[in-house]
Amino acid sequence: HMFNEEIEDNYQNSTVQYRQSAIGAPLDVLIERYQMKFPNLIKIDVDGNENIIIDGMSNTLQDCRLRSVAVEIDSSLDVHSKIFRKMSDIGFSIIKDRRLVNKAYQQIGVENYYFVRNM
């Protein structure tokens, strides 16, 4: 689940059993280089790399055309808990609605959070 690191999605060291080639690029680069249509909603669910994805889309997050971001976060991980601060600093708030809660995910400490831009 990681690029260039032998760790699990919980950031614990791990012995890699399988390797799979994959191409990865920051969203900001993809939008700029390939003239991708600018998103107004982004869903991030990458089993451990959420903070890296967020870091690679700083320009996109600053752009007011992006209205909301849904991201799966394990708030027990320090690298993930920083996502809340970053999103708040950029001008996003968390939608709190019990209909959006997945109880099974809550039990394992991972939840989907829905951030909307403050207007």
Structure tokens at 24: 């990865």
pLDDT at 112 over 70: yes
* Predicted pLDDT at 115: 96
Q: For 94-115, what is the mean pLDDT?
A: 78
Nearest-angstrom CA–CA distance, 47 and 14: 15
Mean pLDDT within 82-109: 83
- Mean pLDDT along residues 83-99: 90
Q: Can you give the pTM of this predicted structure? A: 0.78
Which token pair is 59? 């320009």
Q: Other CB atoms closer than 10 Å to residue 105's CB: what's the count?
A: 13
Which amino acid belongs to residue 114? Y
What would the pLDDT profile of 10-31 be if each residue is shown by its tens digit? 555 566 676 777 788 899 999 9
At residue 62, what are phi and psi to the nearest 5 degrees? Answer: -75, -20
The CA distance from 105 to 102, in Å, is 5
What is the number of residues in the chain?
Answer: 119
Q: What integer pLDDT is reported at residue 76 of this predicted model?
A: 78
